[in-house]
Structure 1
Amino acid sequence: MGVKGFVEGGIASIIAGCSTHPLDLIKVRMQLQGENNLPKPVQNLRPALAFQTGSTVHVAAAIPQTRVGPIAVGVRLVQQEGLAALFSGVSATVLRQTLYSTTRMGLYDVLKTKWTDSVTGTMPLSRKIEAGLIAGGIGAAVGNPADVAMVRMQADGRLPPAQRRNYKSVVDAITRMAKQEGVTSLWRGSSLTVNRAMLVTASQLASYDQFKETILENGMMRDGLGTHVTASFAAGFVAAVASNPVDVIKTRVMNMRVEPGATPPYAGALDCALKTVRAEGPMALYKGFIPTISRQGPFTVVLFVTLEQVRKLLKDF
């Protein structure tokens, strides 16, 4: 039973991760908007304007670029980097889902089986949340190297060609990071990844089970596709609200460029959070929320609908 839960969760997670990857990429690009620790040529500025009067050349100050929405980010990305850029880092997504989501989904299933009341066949919400926190934390620790590689591969295209990391694949990214920055760099931002994963798993899996049980118990719908879609979309919204602030900080810490001998832009997660809020305001922690919910909703729907179908296919094994 235990191994089966890992297999089912892994298959559903990989399908969901790959199908919503472009939305995740747009979310990462939006979360990095306005960050002020980029190399000088790519600070969030439009080129300075120059004009001449007689023999004197006047240069106007550079104008900060306005932040753009998810559709504009996606359109600009395709125009500048091509359609294939929407799947930058997809190999890292596959590895991340294989390591992180397979672990968290499988562990949650194991804990759920263990903690479900054998008489009533139910499990209290508090226990579901506890199971999600434990499963998410362990899964994130296992999958962090793939997470760092995915963030970097997704963010690479926004840099000028000369400054890009140009990882060929997730294996190349992890290998080069370990050689150039040390093995510990593979767990950069791991405390954030673990915190985010605990929040996402607890809110996503626990709320899905809770919403599904509520719908079925109250006779609103029968156990079928409609129930699965409704419960999973509601769970996706809860997960997006809970995890977005940690996700923004995680993206920035993982993506920061640390020059040899130079002080890192951020000393850690708390430092990054404080600098972000001071420089850009508290709502900066909800940057990329529209693409987050736009991804988290479909991701959660695809994840649980696929999971329910995989369970039906494998029920006899």
Structure 2
Amino acid sequence: MGVKGFVEGGIASIVAGCSTHPLDLIKVRMQLQGETPAPTAAVHNLRPALAFQTTSVTAPKSINIPPPPPPPARVGPIAVGVRIVQQEGVAALFSGVSATVLRQTLYSTTRMGLYDILKQKWTDQDTGKMPLIRKISAGLIAGAVGAAVGNPADVAMVRMQADGRLPLAQRRNYKSVVDAITQMARGEGVTSLWRGSSLTVNRAMLVTASQLASYDQIKETILQKGLMKDGLGTHVTASFAAGFVASVASNPVDVIKTRVMNMKVEAGAAPPYSGALDCALKTVRAEGPMALYKGFIPTISRQGPFTVVLFVTLEQVRKVLKDF
């Protein structure tokens, strides 16, 4: 019975992940808008020389230093999508889809299956119900374990999705998720595969607890009050509401996670962010508190359909596999 929950959750997650991948890619690109580029090693090495020159050579009385270029205008999800297609081709909307498949196979299969096991264990046998606090607890535990398992694929997916926005000379050009994980392990060490893992775990705990718990709770409420019968309408309504709750809860952590995972650490240069808290503080200082909700429209645009496809597919798979 336990294995069945993993299989059902895995199938539903892979279908949902692949069908909404372009929306996830647009969300990642929007979350990286306005990010301050990391200083390069060359700039770091040049600073002492510049300092020496300014002390040894008499500077003219007035120096006309050109102002820094204005930051690029922030654009919406449709404009981002159109730009990706124009500059990189339609296929670019599915950049990193192999990583999505691996991520859903590892992360979502684990969290869905584990949540199902905890749900069976923690449901009151007399009433057949599970209190909301237990649903949330089950979601927190399942999300944490699933995220720890799936983090390497998550890092690879973020990098593959973000690659197209980099200048040609700076692109990583991973051929597949396996190539991405292999190159990261060789070039940056095995620990780089778990970069941002604390953020991934926190986000997954929030998403899983809010998504799965709210779906079950809303579905139960609809059925108990007789608003709708147990069918497609109930599943779509409950899942879209669950997607909205999950988006609001997870977006700030998701923005920081995306930036920490995508940061490029060059030899001889300090990393752009020393950790999650540093990234959050720098983001808020440079771009304002609402920067933590960057990409919210594509997040809800993706999380809504993802959650709908996830639970509708899950309910159908359960019907197909009910006799197994």
TM-score calculated relative to the size of structure 2: 0.91
Q: Is contact 2:39–2:269 with CA below 8 Å preserved after alignment?
A: no
Structure 2 CA distance for partners of 1:38 and 1:30, relative to 1, 3 Å: farther
Provide the C-alpha distance between the structure 1 equivalents of 2:225 and 2:3, rounded to a whole number of angstroms.
32
Query: What are the equivalent positions in structure 2 for 1:219-258 lying under 5 Å apart?
Result: 219-258=226-265
Provide the C-alpha distance between the structure 2 equivalents of 1:38 and 1:180, rounded to a whole number of angstroms.
18
Provide the C-alpha distance between the structure 1 equivalents of 2:138 and 2:263, rounded to a whole number of angstroms.
32
Match of 1:49 in 2: none
Query: Match for 2:3: what amino acid?
Result: V
Query: Match for 2:195: what amino acid?
Result: R
Match of 1:145 in 2: 152
Structure 2 CA distance for partners of 1:60 and 1:282, relative to 1, 3 Å: closer
4+ residue segments displaced more than 2 Å:
37-40, 59-64
Shift of the alpha carbon at 1:64? 2.2
Match of 2:56 in 1: none
Unaligned runs of 5+ in 2: 41-65
Q: Is contact 2:239–2:304 with CA below 8 Å preserved after alignment?
A: yes
Shift of the alpha carbon at 1:39? 6.5
Q: Is contact 2:34–2:71 with CA below 8 Å preserved after alignment?
A: no
Match of 2:93 among 76, 86, 108: 86
Shift of the alpha carbon at 1:62? 2.6
Match of 1:29 in 2: 29
Structure 2 CA distance for partners of 1:61 and 1:177, relative to 1, 3 Å: closer
TM-score calculated relative to the size of structure 1: 0.93
Structure 2 CA distance for partners of 1:271 and 1:73, relative to 1, 3 Å: same
Match of 1:50 in 2: none
Match of 1:294 in 2: 301
For the pair 1:95 / 2:102, whether they are aligned, the reply is: yes
Q: Which has the higher contact order (CA 8 A, sep 6+)?
A: 2
Shift of the alpha carbon at 1:60? 7.8
Match of 2:179 in 1: 172
CA RMSD, 1 decimal: 1.2
Shift of the alpha carbon at 1:104? 0.1
Provide the C-alpha distance between the structure 1 equivalents of 2:213 and 2:238, rounded to a whole number of angstroms.
11
Match of 2:4 in 1: 4
Provide the C-alpha distance between the structure 1 equivalents of 2:37 and 2:192, rounded to a whole number of angstroms.
19
Provide the C-alpha distance between the structure 2 equivalents of 1:209 and 1:196, rounded to a whole number of angstroms.
20
Match of 1:120 in 2: 127
Q: Secondary structure at the match of 2:74?
A: coil
Match of 2:318 in 1: 311
For the pair 1:18 / 2:18, whether they are aligned, the reply is: yes
Q: Secondary structure at the match of 2:70?
A: coil
Match of 2:273 among 250, 266, 273: 266
Query: Match for 1:29: what amino acid?
Result: R
For residues 16-60 of structure 1, give each alpha carbon's deviation from its aligned partner in whole angstroms, at most 9, with x where no partner exists.
0000000000000000000012578xxxxxxxxxxxxxxxxxx88
Question: Which structure would you say has the larger Rg?
Answer: 2
Q: Secondary structure at the match of 1:62?
A: coil
Provide the C-alpha distance between the structure 1 equivalents of 2:303 and 2:203, rounded to a whole number of angstroms.
13
Q: Secondary structure at the match of 2:297?
A: helix
Unaligned runs of 5+ in 1: 41-58
Q: Secondary structure at the match of 1:63?
A: coil
Paired residues in the alignment total 300
Query: Match for 2:97: what amino acid?
Result: V
Identity of aligned residues (%): 87
Provide the C-alpha distance between the structure 2 equivalents of 1:17 and 1:289, rounded to a whole number of angstroms.
18
For the pair 1:67 / 2:86, whether they are aligned, the reply is: no
Shift of the alpha carbon at 1:114? 0.2
